[in-house]
Amino acid sequence: MSAPTKTIEVTRVRGGVGENAARPDGIPKVTGEFAYSSDLWAEGMLWGATVRSPHPRARIVSIDIAKALALPGVWAVLTHDDVPGNKTYGLEIPDQPVLAWDQTRYQGEPVVLIAADHPETATRAADLVDIFYEELDPITDPEVAMDPGTDVLHPEAKNPHNLIRHVRIRSGDPDASADVVVSGEYTIGMQDQAFLGPESGLAVPDGEGGVDLYVATQWLHVDLDQLAGALGLTEDRVRITLAGVGGAFGAREDLSMQIHCCMLALHTNRPVKMMYSREESFFGHVHRHPARMYYEHGATRDGDLVYVKARIILDGGAYASSSTAVISNATCFAVGPYEVPNATLDGYVVYTDNPPCGAMRGFGSVQACFGHESQMDKLADALGMDPLELRIRNAMTTGSKLPTGQIVQGPAPVKELLESVRDMPHPDPTPSGPLDLTLLPGGVSNTTHGEGVRRGVGYGVGFKNIAYSEGFDDYSTARVKLWSAGGEPIVEVHTAAAEVGQGVTTIQMQIARTELGVEQVVVLPADTQVRSAGSTSASRQTWMTGGAVRKACEAIRVRVLTDALVGLDGDPGDLSLEGGKVISSSLGVVADLADAIGDAAYEETYEYHHKKTFPLDPETGQGDAHVAFAFSAHRATCDVDTELGLVKVVELATAQDVGKAINPQAVEGQIEGGTAQGLGLAVMEEIQVKDGKVMNPSFTDYLIPTILDMPPMQIDVMELGDPDSEYGVKGVGEPPTISSTPAILAALRNASEKPLTHIPVRPDHFLWSGERPGELGP
């Protein structure tokens, strides 16, 4: 290589780390051109349908498929007999039948599959399947389920009495006493992830006994593992490619139609598409665990926390899903981001005949945070202390010890986050100008012109773990290629990281641009032709897959620079890649990167692992179980029509430490979206289950916030940098969902002076004379 002969202005590539790089899927989504998994189509494809149990708990006496099979246009009717491999699957415990055989344990459990040449034919064939059930009394109360006298739903389970897992944490003195003691019982309804793109995908048989599946999911390789097992195929004969995902929020961690669709495709040797309807979707995925929580907090008269006792019961529903990890989080974070010297914490998650529950944004911390933050407000009240002051006084910091004995090592800016939301300007008081119904509780429904309206302000702070815990090695793999074409360097990034709308595709592009100084970065579709990226869950993808991409880029950079150095004086440390040039700190631009690459192609694969974690001791709950922690705080301002119990959330202010904002706009999007989901849980979102049956499986009656419910936000993004991650990133997606809900509840209590111990709050809760359903007040 020759020495530089000309001086070239080097401009940094656009769209690198820290910039608001445009998402490649942004414009197609807004214009309606984005292909979601429900838009998939293949020549000659069949349509799959699922016959589901209408009963929460029943014995299957007989299944007669003859009439369905005889319907013209029907290609296949499959039962449990047709499952080629493992008859059950599951994320942590393989307890869920691919198709039920002897009994069903929740309403909507799949029993029979249909493939037909038209979706309507498939639906009609489903009606012709004759299943004779013997109905049994469903077990629907998790505390009753744990009674020794109650029937056991899973006799093969490791634990007795329908217990999926008990997490027991003991720290300090179990008999500690305190000057001031407050106790409370809190309950949480079943929230749904309410993604807009229902479960859907396309399975295409390869003609040699293998299958390609295109599907909207969160973790391709954990799907692959369960799918290959159920199909009785080796993993190389099952290939999964991520299709366009219309939201996930945890609901796509478990399998839904994956095995079913592949079974039908392999059986008929035709491509098969499955797409749940909105109603079916409510039965097709797990939900957030409903909770019942008993808390007792003890503090000194000065407001120092002395002890916390908590007993948390989560309803796991019919199958285990990720319940064992959810209850771990709920229990580990039960006291909140506070220093608590003595803690006695018991978390139970239990099998019932209710809909299965599993992962949802916030994952156990959401439930716990409603409990501990409600208690902190109650304690502040008992102490006659400002609730913010009480929180700040007890705030965890770097070096604090969790009840599990783990020392918090990264930034833990609990005090700083609370001070930030405290000091933000407050919204204007209730408007007194011309009547604008959209600003009032009840909105355009015209229920008040100001009568009965009172304003309240409340605070909440929460935290949770980033990435998987308790010894799980959820690594991520990135394969990066650099070559040049037409005089331009090109980078190709291949990972299996599921883009579910959060922006991990853009993150990968930004990191590659910055690390290799190349603007043109292509991210290949996520599939199983590259090793696992781990799940798009637990706020981990920017950290894990972002980390893998950076490390793979670094390895390429070292090779490129080493090659570029041939014939030059200097050492590789002197060179860098920027703006498509190879730059020497002493010589300036030494080459166009494209020239330096020449005909070569550089490829590196990197497997990124987070630091090792350890299990919790089963007796004491002690152990360094978590990788890192993310924190956020919210201030809510709410107007309540105290006579009607209607609510207007006026403003939400939040502060969150994201470590480093790779894409600030995406960070704000996550914070606003996560906060909206927390608002939903606070005031409207609840799957109502009665005797094991879902009463509101539609967006007519399962309400999620509209633009008139979600207020403007003030957002303070802190970038304190985690020492263990690349660029200092932390996860962003979950914390806003955790601390927004209790802040809104605190504001509603502040306005109404009602205890409000259940979420979501419904209008009549403001009118109860006591804490529980009963007479309405005046």
Rounded Cα–Cα distance for residues 481 and 493 (Å): 7
What's the min distance (Å) between Cβ of 778 and another protein?
A: 9
Give the closest residue to 257 by CA, choosing from 114, 441, 139: 114
Candidate list 471, 701, 753, 769; residue touching another protein; CB under 8 A? 701
Residues linked to residue 132 through DSSP beta bridges, in sequence order: 62
Binding mask 737-776 for another protein (x = CB under 8 A): -------------------------xxx--x--------x
Residue 398 interacts with another protein (CB under 8 A): yes or no: no
Contacts of 99 (CB under 8 A, 6+ apart): 78, 79, 80, 82, 83, 110, 111, 112, 113, 260
Which of 304, 386, 595, 709 binds another protein (CB under 8 A)? It is 709
- Binding flags for another protein, 257-296, as an x/- string (CB under 8 A): --------------------xxx-----------------
DSSP code string of 281-341? HHHHS-BPPPEEEEEEEEE-TT--EEEEEEEEEEEEESS-TTHHHHHHHHHHTTT-SB--S
- Measure the CA–CA gap between 626 and 612, rounded to whole angstroms: 9
- Nearest 10 degrees: CA dihedral of 107, 111, 113, 118? -40
How would you label 261-273 residue by residue, b for 16+ Cβ within 10 Å and e otherwise? bbbbbbbbebbbb
Closest to another protein by CB, 209 vs 777, is: 777
Please state the closest distance from residue 762 (CB atom) to another protein, in A: 6
- Cβ closer to another protein: 518 or 646? 646
Candidates 7, 234, 432, 700; binder of another protein (CB under 8 A) is: 700
Q: Judging by DSSP bridges, how do beta strands 46-52 and 272-275 pair with one another?
A: parallel
Candidate segments 405-413, 448-456, 589-597, 719-727, binder of another protein by CB under 8 A: 448-456
- Residue number with CB closer to another protein (245 or 646): 646
Q: Which of 703, 715, 717, 720 binds another protein (CB under 8 A)?
A: 703
> At its nearest, how many Å lie between another protein and the CB of residue 288?
18
Tell the smallest beta-carbon distance from residue 74 to another protein (Å). Answer: 18
Footprint of another protein on 619-678 (CB under 8 A): 643-646, 648
Residue 633: C-alpha distances to residues 32, 74, 647, 676, 741 (Å): 35, 55, 21, 14, 11
Closer residue to another protein, CB minimum distance, 236 or 775: 775
Specify the residue, 80 or 762, whose C-beta has the smaller distance to another protein: 762
Rounding to the nearest 10 degrees, give the CA dihedral for residues 140, 146, 147, 151: 60
For β-strands 693-694 and 689-690, DSSP reports them as antiparallel
Residue 422 · residue 654 · CB < 8 Å: no
Q: Which of 134, 708, 712, 772 binds another protein (CB under 8 A)?
A: 708
Q: Does residue 695 touch another protein according to CB under 8 A?
A: yes
Residue with Cβ nearer another protein (229 or 705): 705
Identify the CA nearest to 353 among candidates 531, 162, 502: 162
730/564 Cα distance (integer angstroms): 35
From 696, 715, 755, 771, residue interacting with another protein (rule: CB under 8 A)? 696
Q: Which is nearer to another protein, 307 or 702 (CB)?
A: 702
Site residues for another protein, 420-439, by CB under 8 A, read: 438
Which CB, 74 or 556, lies closer to another protein? 74
- Give me the least distance between CB of 703 and another protein, in Å please: 5
Tell the smallest beta-carbon distance from residue 693 to another protein (Å). 11
Contacts of 149 (CB under 8 A, 6+ apart): none
- Residues 6 or more apart whose Cβ sits within 8 Å of residue 289: 188, 190, 314, 315, 316, 323, 326, 330, 349, 357, 358, 364, 367
The answer to the question of residue 706 lying near another protein (CB under 8 A) is yes
- Taking CB under 8 A as the rule, which mask of x and - marks residues 61-90 in contact with another protein? ------------------------------
Q: Residue from 442, 572, 615, 755 that binds another protein (CB under 8 A)?
A: 442
H/E element, 51? strand 46-52
> By CB under 8 A, is residue 451 in contact with another protein?
yes
Near another protein in 310-339, by CB under 8 A? none
Main-chain dihedrals φ then ψ at residue 544, nearest 5 degrees: -80, -55
**Minimum CB distance to another protein smaller for 343 or for 684:** 684
The CB-based long-range contact list for 472-475 (8 Å cut-off, 24+ gap) reads 472/613, 473/609, 473/610, 473/612, 474/534, 474/535, 474/538, 474/540, 474/544, 474/610, 475/532, 475/534, 475/544, 475/548, 475/607, 475/608, 475/609, 475/610
Q: Does 691 bind another protein (CB under 8 A)?
A: no
Which residue's CB is nearer to another protein, number 269 or number 688? 688
- Least separation in angstroms between CB 439 and another protein: 10
The Cα 515–Cα 505 span in angstroms is 16
Structure tokens at 250: 């945890």
In single-letter form, the type of residue at position 91 comes to L
Phi, psi of 559 (to 5 degrees): -65, -45
Nearer to another protein, 61 or 196 (CB): 196
Task: Based on the shown chain and the rule CB under 8 A, indicate whether residue 407 belongs to the binding site for another protein.
Answer: no
340 binds another protein (CB under 8 A): no
CA distance 206 to 528: 16
| Contact string (CB under 8 A) for another protein, positions 111-150, x = contact | ------------x---------------------------
Cβ 161 to another protein, closest distance in Å?
A: 32
Q: Which of 290, 387, 441, 735 is in the footprint of another protein by CB under 8 A?
A: 441
Q: How far apart are CA 517 and CA 580, in angstroms?
A: 5
Helices (H), 169-257: 220-231
Q: How many residues bind to another protein according to rule CB under 8 A?
A: 39
Residues whose CB is less than 8 angstroms from the CB of residue 676 and which lie 6 or more positions away in sequence, other chains included: 705, 710
Binding site for another protein (CB under 8 A): 123, 277-279, 438, 441-449, 451-452, 643-646, 648, 683-684, 688, 695-696, 698, 700-701, 703, 705-706, 708-709, 762-764, 767, 776
